[in-house]
């Protein structure tokens, strides 16, 4: 009798391990997707804040500055200089001012980025052709029509 109970306990433990394994296998990808979307929204919000600081700088000095450290803005990430290239490098995103007043917010690991046109006040979410992750993020992020919109996501 004691041996029969021992076998059934092992069976129950094995079934519980299989159920937990399936739960993790199904839930982890969804969690990572939501985490990526949350980080993209945070990156877009920081990009909009930098765009407003750039516009203030342009009003005072007559031009945009690629050196984010010169902005009257508390930077959450360090500014790195590599030759002529100046970038604010955060954990998941890199911020760079390109020619023609385009603030580019690029993901470090995914072929996806936001472009904030400072002169026009427009926002664009882009991704490389065929990038499933990039197209998924861009389709799920609520982009404002202009940088002036205060919509909360």
Q: How far apart are CA 127 and CA 68, in angstroms?
A: 24
* pLDDT above 80 for 135: no
Tokens coding 45: 């919000």
The upper half-sphere exposure of residue 11, i.e. CA atoms within 13 Å in the direction of its Cβ, equals: 6
* Res 153: pLDDT: 40
Domain definitions of the chain by residue range: 2-140
Tokens coding 54: 């750039």
* Res 82: pLDDT: 87
Tens-digit pLDDT profile for residues 79-128: 999 888 899 999 999 999 988 888 999 888 877 788 888 888 888 887 76
Q: How far apart are CA 16 and CA 18, in angstroms?
A: 5
Q: How far apart are CA 45 and CA 39, in angstroms?
A: 10
> What is the residue-averaged pLDDT of the chain?
82
* Res 91: pLDDT: 92
Quick one: which of 44, 86, 91, 41 has its CA closest to 64? 86
Tens-digit pLDDT profile for residues 24-81: 888 888 888 888 888 888 888 898 889 889 989 999 999 998 998 888 888 899 999 9
């Amino acid at each position: 009798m004691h041996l029969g109970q021992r076998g059934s306990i092992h069976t129950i433990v094995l079934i519980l391990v299989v159920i937990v394994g399936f739960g993790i296998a199904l839930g982890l990808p969804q969690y990572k997707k939501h985490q990526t979307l949350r980080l993209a929204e945070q990156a877009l919000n920081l990009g909009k804040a930098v765009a407003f600081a750039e516009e203030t700088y342009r009003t005072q000095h007559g031009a945009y500055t690629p050196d984010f450290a010169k902005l009257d803005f508390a930077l959450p990430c360090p500014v790195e200089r590599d030759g002529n290239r100046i970038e604010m490098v955060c954990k998941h995103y890199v911020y760079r001012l390109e020619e023609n007043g385009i603030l580019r917010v690029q993901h470090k690991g995914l072929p996806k980025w936001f472009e904030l046109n400072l002169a026009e006040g427009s926002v664009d979410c882009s991704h490389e052709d065929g990038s499933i992750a990039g197209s998924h993020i861009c389709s799920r992020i609520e982009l404002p029509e202009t940088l002036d919109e205060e919509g909360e996501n």
